[in-house]
Amino acid sequence: MSSSVLVTGATGKTGRRLTPQLVERGVTVRAASRDPVPPSAGMEPVRFDWLDETTYPAALDRVHAAYLVVTDNAIGQAGAFLMTGPESLTLAEVAGHISAAAGRQVRYVESGPEPIQEALIAAGITADFAAYVAQLYTASAGSGAMAAVTDDVAAVTGRPPTSFANYAADAAGAWLR
Ligand SMILES: NC(=O)c1ccc[n+]([C@@H]2O[C@H](COP(=O)([O-])OP(=O)(O)OC[C@H]3O[C@@H](n4cnc5c(N)ncnc54)[C@H](OP(=O)(O)O)[C@@H]3O)[C@@H](O)[C@H]2O)c1
């Protein structure tokens, strides 16, 4: 069975660009918006409104993954969601899961912002933005600001979030290249 991905905001700026790229890769797209477009090859339009929970089951039926555009009107009405995994992990624990999945040792090394900034610049990011991202990342990772765990994934999708261990097992090939 081909994989099926729900794209909310499918008629918007980001969804309109993402949808054809997924279809091109053989993915069936459940294209969701309040005013669905006509169906086409690889695309199943569905009416979906964040403010109307009765539209959730049809949008989520048989989808394997979701691209969620949480629109400003939905945030205003329902409050913001904080989508998290099921558990809070240290970066050393993350490295442990990757090691187990990839079958080779991957260690977390505390580096400070400079090496991160250099790697981002080497990847083509501008120096100012690289400095900003590196500082933001080290400050938030070191302060526990990313440690929150919520039930919002289950509340929005009706399914529990995937654990990092399961994600790492599925994505193991990425660390074997
Ligand atoms: N574009 C960017 O570069 C960018 C950058 C940073 C952040 N963002 C944020 O990312 C989100 C989406 O961006 P975008 O540029 O793709 O948005 P957009 O072009 O404004 O499109 C919004 C999409 O959401 C749908 N929508 C609006 N209200 C809805 C509701 N109540 N329930 C379900 N669908 C609804 C609209 O379709 P219908 O009207 O047919 O329902 C449309 O497909 C926004 O919150 C935006 O602030 C965008």
Domains of the chain: 4-78 (3.40.50.720), 86-149+163-177 (no CATH)
Q: What is the pTM of this model?
A: 0.61
Place of tokens 């509340």: 155
Nearest CA to ligand 1 atom 25: 9
Could you tell which of 50, 52, 71, 75 is best to mutate to test the pocket of ligand 1, judged by most ligand atoms within 8 Å of the CB? 71
Q: DSSP assignment of 81-120, as one string?
A: -----SS---HHHHHHHHHHHHTS--------HHHHHHHH
Nearest CA to ligand 1 atom 34: 33
pLDDT digits 0-9 by tens, 4-37: 899 999 999 999 999 999 999 999 999 999 998 8
Residue list, ligand 1 pocket, CB within 6 Å: 8-15, 33-35, 48-51, 69, 71-74
Percent with pLDDT over 90 in the chain: 60
- Is residue 4 within 8 A of residue 64, CB to CB? The reply is yes
pLDDT digits 0-9 by tens, 52-86: 889 988 998 888 888 988 777 776 665 677 889 99
Nearest CA to ligand 1 atom 6: 14
> How large is the greatest C-alpha to C-alpha distance in the chain, in angstroms?
51
pLDDT of the residue at 79: 64
pLDDT of the residue at 2: 58
Taken in order 96, 100, 102, 105, the sign of the CA dihedral is positive
Rg of the chain over CA atoms, in angstroms?
A: 19
pLDDT of the residue at 78: 58
Residue 1 has pLDDT above 60, yes or no: no
Nearest CA to ligand 1 atom 4: 14
When mean pLDDT is compared across 97-101, 116-120, 127-131, 172-176, the lowest value belongs to 172-176
CA dist 59 and 50 (Å) reads: 11
The average confidence (pLDDT) of the chain is 89
CA dist 136 and 143 (Å) reads: 11
pLDDT of the residue at 76: 62
Q: How far is the CA of 65 from the centre of ligand 1 (A)?
A: 18
* Residue 128 banded pLDDT, cuts 50, 70, 90: very high
pLDDT of the residue at 127: 94
- Is residue 67 within 8 A of residue 15, CB to CB? The reply is yes
Nearest CA to ligand 1 atom 28: 71
